[in-house]
Amino acid sequence: MSMSPPGARILLAPMEGLLDHTLRDMLTRVGGVDLCVSEFIRVTNTVLPRRAFIRVAPELLNDSRTVAGVPVKVQLLGSDPDLLAANAVALAELGPAGIDLNFGCPAKTVNQHRGGAVLLDEPELVGQIVAAVRRAVPAHIPVSAKMRLGYNDDTRAEECALAIEAAGASELVVHARTKAHGYRPPAYWERIADLRQCVRLPIVANGEIWTLADALRCRAVTGCDRLMIGRGMVADPGLALSIAQHDALGSSGALTSAVAWSQIVRLMRLFWQGIALRVAPRHRAGRLKQWLNYLRRVYPEAQEAFDQLRLLNDPAKIEQWLALQAPDGSPK
């Protein structure tokens, strides 16, 4: 029996408007995820109050861990090194599992305000930001970064990676697309392999990992043991567990989910309870349907559920539908 790859880790990606703390809670309950990163907290012109950090990462109130015990790094986004450093100090007082810096967000409104991927055209500034945050927070708190390959093209990817390394980051996640690529396939995994040749800090590969086969192929192309998965985990909550089982058992593994639909139904009920605590009633149905829309990629039952709920927006009717699902996941 072969052992898992040395240092192999699966990270759950942050996804603004989709993968928030409620969904992090659900996905980490399944197993296989070693670390999460929160959605970004935007830093503009002030040091944020404590509640601003906790709103995005309420896990800070639980030793920076999900209910299942998975550590959560908290991500900051901005362009002012001093202001980001000051906010990192405030965040550090809450005891995060780590502080991550966002150089990858492709959103137009964010980029127009000098945040996210647009900074990849300024490798020197990227390095200044990482260095300022690293100097500002206690040494025991890891400071990492996430970047895309570039803004309009990938010509400065190596410069950015070198700047992040020189500034003292402990880890670098690379989403293998530029801002211009958006989320369109493919992901250019071979460029991550190029970056690994020019820096020594650990690199985590991210982008277009939807299945166990994708994960194994990504590892082979990039040379990375560490993977970050976002939409692939939303669509298949058992994906990280499948990868972990493959690593532990040394088998080729099945390409089907490691999680039965009945377990997904139980998670959906918990998810609904979670969003009911934080989300306005008029938006709750949309959040559940958003998740179901991804689950349709893997589960035929999710397509049926989506069809049944597509026109329902009344929370009471959604709750009624959830109550009518039998323990095995089929309608009663």
Active site residues: 105
pTM of the model: 0.93
pLDDT in the model for residue 332: 47
Q: What is the mean pLDDT of the chain?
A: 92
Query: What is the residue extent of each domain of the chain?
Result: 10-249, 261-323
Answer whether residue 53 shows pLDDT above 90.
Answer: yes
pLDDT of residue 261: 95
Least confident of 3-7, 133-137, 187-191: 3-7
pLDDT for position 8: 67
Q: Which CATH class is domain 10-249?
A: alpha beta
Task: Out of 144-153, 189-198, 243-252, 282-291, pick the least confident.
Answer: 243-252
Better-scored residue on pLDDT, 204 or 14 = 204
Residue 250: its pLDDT value, please? 75
Q: Which residue has the higher pLDDT, 8 or 279?
A: 279
Summarised one tens digit per residue, pLDDT across range 78-123 is 999 999 999 999 999 999 999 999 998 877 777 766 788 899 999 9
pLDDT of 277: 93
Q: Say what the pLDDT of residue 4 is.
A: 40
Residue % of the chain over a pLDDT of 70: 92
pLDDT bucket at 252, cuts 50 / 70 / 90: low
Q: Residue 256 — very low, low, confident or very high, per pLDDT cuts 50/70/90?
A: low
The pLDDT value recorded for residue 17 is 87
Asked if the model's pLDDT at residue 327 lies above 70, the reply is: no
When pLDDT is averaged across residues 228-241 and rounded to a whole number, the result is: 97
**Class of 261-323 per CATH?**
mainly alpha
DSSP collapsed to 3 states, the chain? CCCCCCCCCEEECCECCCECHHHHHHHHHHCCCCEEEEEEEECCCCCCCHHHHHHHCHHHHHCCECCCCCEEEEEEECCCHHHHHHHHHHHHCCCCCCEEEEECCCCHHHHHCCCHHHHHHCHHHHHHHHHHHHHHCCCCCCEEEEEEEECCCCCCHHHHHHHHHHCCCCCEEEEEEECCCCCCCCCCHHHHHHHHCCCCCCEEEECCCCCHHHHHHHHHHHCCCCEEECHHHHHCCCHHHHHHHHHHHCCCCCCCCCCCHHHHHHHHHHHHHHHHHHCCHHHHHHHHHHHHHHHCCCCHHHHHHHHHHCCCCCHHHHHHHHHCECCCCCEC
**10-249 and 261-323 have identical folds:** no
